[in-house]
């Protein structure tokens, strides 16, 4: 356990000597510190922030072994390949491996040769596996994709809930949980289930400043998709579709137009899905056209765009899906088309889901929040971060509403009408009832509560219901109102909204139209156009070619060899010998030994 700065330096030594990084990224060292001290910790970190190192470094320092719970076999294999490339022996037991390989993995782990063992939650929480692990000194359990634990989350998986039993069977082991997607309610639920709330919750931020966020209404999707993708032909990216049928249709359209596009959905055979995924991971300039069946565990760093042809399920789902872009930290684009038909379909999906009424209510309110994001008249990044509890963000200057602000109209009076109706009805009702009060509707709910006697009853009857719905979405987007997801979906005033109600501020909104408008031309930039001017792109291309060849020989994704960031640093430093090559960011001793000479030859051939 870490008790002093001297111990922390040993973590720094492992980071340098094993993984080839000179220092931790912001926030990583504090998490390593907590885990080494045995503190149960839930870590919420944006995609690409380096969460794997936060538990891999402590795992190598701890006296006992570490179990990593991972949802996908492909993700386990990639993690093990990445560790092996750095000279770290790890093991995995899963259905995709032969019995002989699984037995060998267990023996390597049981003997201490492999300090990390990757398991799915289903395999881990069997009586036989738990009993076997009780014979081994387990120092830490790591739960990856921890949002799957919580029923409050958008991606609940029942088998993950069983992990709550670990704290009782292994009381002396530290439990670490990692996710990129969890709002306040979900975070509290994960903490309660995994370690009875007796631990730390570390939120390292949700901001992904390298992603440009854009949303536009869907008018004619084929020309919209093609015109947006045309300047991105040299890039890898994902196009998300709502159904299997539309996935095939979009993939066929792109292939006809000369794109290297591959479909991915649950209706394809496992062999086809695996082949398409491997092609996407290994090759450049591939567009994966997919349903949400594709994504979790995809660790391709150089995905330059994520395009949503339809409205995602929620803000959490949207954040998770766009988070697959730009994991290398370089610029990436997130574009979403949405239409009223998508909203109707999403509502139907929720209502037809085999879930209890509370779950359906929460999902409807999550969808409400996403619609508010789509209607935002202010910075989208501010809206997105506010949803996850980060209320101090400044306008980013890098989303569509910042780059091309929409036409705004004065709506202070209407906003005060809305806020007054919400306040006078007790801040406990959703938009439907509040709008009925404003428009003077005659409903049982209004009569039973005496709301027809309120001063705000009927004051908004000159506006259509859809107009008031649009205003509510924009007021949520602007931080004037919040939706009580944990409660019953009631609208509540924030301090900002309360100030407007008291006459202490004005409100401007995006013009609300009852008909779908034509998509506007945005002043967007393309991620491919933003390049480091001092990088020799010819050299970088040659290095990537070598990397792709080595990855193909070893049957691993290219980033397992070296990340794009490492190759870029190599271009900057232009090492002349192996000692200098060892100073490149991301090259540890094992990778230097295995690949250093090969890449050095490419670099030196440029002189």
What CATH number did the domain enclosing 259 receive? 3.40.50.300
Which of 339-348, 387-396, 413-422, 585-594 is predicted with the least confidence, judged by mean pLDDT?
339-348
- Residue 290 in tokens: 């997919």
Nearest to 189 by CA among 91, 28, 42, 76: 42
Confidence band for 518, pLDDT divided at 50, 70 and 90: very low
Which of 127-136, 203-212, 304-313, 412-421 is predicted with the least confidence, judged by mean pLDDT?
203-212
The yes-or-no verdict on residue 522 having pLDDT over 70 is no
Quick one: 29 and 144 in the same domain? yes
Selected residue with higher pLDDT from 521 and 279: 279
Sign of the CA dihedral running 85, 86, 89, 94: negative
Which of 28-42, 174-188, 428-442, 525-539 is predicted with the least confidence, judged by mean pLDDT?
525-539
Domain termination site, one of 203, 222, 256: 203
Quick one: 387 and 413 in the same domain? no
- Residue 122 in tokens: 């289903």
Say if 521 falls within a structural domain: no
Q: Would you state the pLDDT for residue 268?
A: 92
With beta carbons less than 8 A apart as the criterion, state whether 299 and 327 touch: yes
Q: Report the relative pairing of strands 90-92 and 236-240 from DSSP bridges.
A: unpaired
Which of 145-159, 470-484, 563-577 is predicted with the least confidence, judged by mean pLDDT?
145-159
- Residue 414 in tokens: 């209407």
The yes-or-no verdict on residue 530 having pLDDT over 60 is no
Average pLDDT (92-97) is 90
Domain termination site, one of 369, 386, 403: 403
The yes-or-no verdict on residue 525 having pLDDT over 90 is no
The total number of structural domains that make up the chain:
4
Quick one: 198 and 244 in the same domain? no
Q: Report the relative pairing of strands 211-217 and 332-338 from DSSP bridges.
A: parallel
Please report, for the domain that includes residue 437, its CATH number.
Answer: 1.10.10.10
CA distance 213 to 215: 7
Sign of the CA dihedral running 188, 191, 192, 198: negative
With beta carbons less than 8 A apart as the criterion, state whether 468 and 438 touch: yes
Average pLDDT (265-286) is 88
Instruction: Provide the residue count of the chain.
Output: 607
Selected residue with higher pLDDT from 353 and 127: 127
Quick one: 300 and 399 in the same domain? yes
Say if 55 falls within a structural domain: yes
Quick one: 181 and 268 in the same domain? no
**pTM for the model:** 0.72
Domain termination site, one of 146, 173, 203: 203
Cite the beta strand spans of 184-232 per DSSP E. Answer: 200-203, 211-217
Quick one: 390 and 253 in the same domain? yes
Say if 517 falls within a structural domain: no
Cite the beta strand spans of 137-291 per DSSP E. Answer: 138-143, 174-179, 200-203, 211-217, 236-240, 261-264, 287-290
Quick one: 354 and 412 in the same domain? no
With beta carbons less than 8 A apart as the criterion, state whether 321 and 303 touch: no
Largest CA distance in the chain: 84
Q: Would you state the pLDDT for residue 153?
A: 59
Please report, for the domain that includes residue 589, its CATH number.
Answer: 1.10.150.80
The yes-or-no verdict on residue 1 having pLDDT over 80 is no
Average pLDDT (299-319) is 90
Selected residue with higher pLDDT from 7 and 118: 118
Quick one: 250 and 110 in the same domain? no
According to DSSP, residue 86 is labeled T
Q: Would you state the pLDDT for residue 310?
A: 93
Which of 147-161, 243-257, 290-304, 532-546 is predicted with the least confidence, judged by mean pLDDT?
147-161
Average pLDDT (222-242) is 95
Q: Report the relative pairing of strands 303-308 and 236-240 from DSSP bridges.
A: parallel
Say if 150 falls within a structural domain: yes
Q: Would you state the pLDDT for residue 487?
A: 63
Average pLDDT (306-315) is 93
Average pLDDT (125-139) is 94
Say if 376 falls within a structural domain: yes
Q: In a 3-state reduction of DSSP, which class is residue 295?
A: coil
Quick one: 256 and 199 in the same domain? no
CA distance 69 to 76: 9
Say if 516 falls within a structural domain: no
Quick one: 187 and 269 in the same domain? no
Range 73-79, long-range pairs (CB < 8 A, 24+ positions): 73/120, 74/277, 74/297, 75/144, 75/296, 75/297, 75/299, 76/118, 76/120, 78/297, 78/299, 78/556, 78/557, 78/560, 79/52, 79/118
According to DSSP, residue 451 is labeled G
CA distance 505 to 484: 24
Alpha helices in 325-425 (DSSP H): 340-352, 357-374, 380-387, 400-403, 412-424
In which order are the strands placed within the sheet that holds 211-217?
A: 211-217, 332-338, 303-308, 236-240, 287-290, 261-264
Say if 33 falls within a structural domain: yes
Tens-digit pLDDT profile for residues 571-585 = 989 999 999 999 999
For the chain, counts of helices (H) and of strands (E): 28, 17
CA distance 38 to 138: 12
Average pLDDT over the chain, rounded to an integer: 88
Say if 518 falls within a structural domain: no
Confidence band for 457, pLDDT divided at 50, 70 and 90: very high
Quick one: 439 and 389 in the same domain? no
Quick one: 382 and 440 in the same domain? no
The yes-or-no verdict on residue 453 having pLDDT over 90 is yes
Residue position matching structure tokens 């990088």: 535
With beta carbons less than 8 A apart as the criterion, state whether 386 and 479 touch: yes
Domain that holds residue 112: 5-203
CA distance 266 to 292: 9
């Amino acid at each position: 356990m870490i008790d002093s700065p001297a111990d922390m330096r040993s973590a720094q030594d492992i980071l340098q000597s094993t993984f080839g990084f000179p220092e931790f990224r912001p926030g990583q060292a504090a998490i390593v510190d907590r885990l080494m001290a045995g503190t149960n910790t839930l870590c919420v970190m944006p995609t690409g922030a380096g969460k794997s190192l936060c538990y891999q470094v402590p795992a190598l320092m701890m006296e006992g072994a570490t179990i990593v719970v991972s949802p996908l076999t492909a993700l386990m294999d990639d993690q093990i390949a990445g560790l092996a490339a750095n000279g770290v022996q790890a093991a995995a037991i899963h259905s995709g491996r032969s019995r002989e390989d699984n037995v060998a993995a267990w023996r390597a782990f049981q003997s201490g040769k492999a300090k990390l063992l990757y398991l799915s939650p289903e395999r881990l929480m069997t009586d036989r596996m738990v009993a076997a692990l009780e014979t081994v000194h387990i120092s830490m359990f790591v739960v990856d994709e921890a949002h799957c634990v919580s029923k409050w989350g958008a991606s609940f998986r029942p088998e993950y809930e069983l992990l709550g039993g670990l704290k009782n069977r292994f009381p002396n082991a530290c439990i670490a949980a990692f996710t990129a997607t969890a709002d306040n309610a979900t975070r509290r639920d994960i903490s309660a289930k995994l370690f009875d709330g007796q631990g730390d919750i570390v939120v390292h931020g949700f901001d992904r400043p390298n992603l440009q966020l854009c949303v536009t209404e869907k008018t004619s999707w084929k020309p919209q998709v093609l015109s947006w993708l045309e300047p991105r032909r040299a890039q890898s990216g994902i196009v998300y579709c709502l159904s299997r049928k539309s996935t095939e249709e979009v993939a066929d359209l792109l292939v006809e137009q000369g794109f290297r596009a591959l479909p991915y959905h649950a209706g394809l055979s496992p062999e086809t899905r695996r082949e398409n995924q491997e092609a996407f991971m290994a090759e450049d300039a591939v567009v994966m056209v997919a349903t949400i069946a594709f994504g979790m565990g995809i660790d391709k760093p150089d995905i330059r765009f994520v395009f949503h042809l339809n409205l995602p399920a929620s803000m959490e789902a949207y954040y998770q899906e766009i988070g697959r872009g730009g994991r290398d930290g370089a610029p990436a684009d997130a574009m979403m088309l949405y239409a009223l038909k998508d909203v109707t379909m999403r509502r139907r999906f929720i209502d037809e889901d085999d879930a209890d009424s509370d779950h359906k209510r929460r999902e409807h309110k999550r969808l409400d929040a996403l619609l508010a994001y789509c209607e935002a008249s202010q910075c989208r990044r501010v809206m997105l971060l506010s949803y996850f509890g980060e209320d101090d963000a400044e306008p980013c200057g890098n989303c569509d509403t910042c780059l091309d602000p929409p036409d705004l109209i004065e709506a202070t009076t209407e906003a005060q009408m809305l806020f007054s109706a919400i306040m006078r009805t007790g801040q406990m009702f959703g938009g439907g009832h509040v709008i009925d009060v404003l428009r003077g509707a005659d409903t049982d709910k209004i009569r039973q509560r005496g709301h027809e006697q309120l001063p705000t009853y009927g004051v908004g009857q000159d506006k259509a219901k859809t107009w008031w719905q649009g205003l509510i979405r924009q007021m949520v987007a602007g931080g004037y109102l919040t939706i009580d997801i944990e409660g019953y979906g009631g609208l509540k005033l924030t301090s900002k909204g309360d100030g407007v109600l008291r006459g202490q501020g004005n409100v401007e909104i995006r013009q609300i139209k009852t008909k779908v408008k034509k998509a506007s031309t945005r002043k967007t930039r393309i991620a491919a156009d933003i390049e480091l001017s001092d990088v020799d792109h010819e050299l970088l291309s040659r290095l990537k070619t070598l990397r792709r060849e080595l990855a193909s020989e070893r049957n691993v994704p290219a980033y397992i060899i070296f990340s794009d960031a490492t190759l870029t640093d190599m271009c900057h430093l232009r090492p002349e010998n192996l000692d200098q090559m060892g100073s490149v960011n991301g090259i540890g001793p094992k990778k230097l030994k295995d690949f250093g000479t090969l890449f050095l030859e490419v670099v030196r051939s440029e002189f």
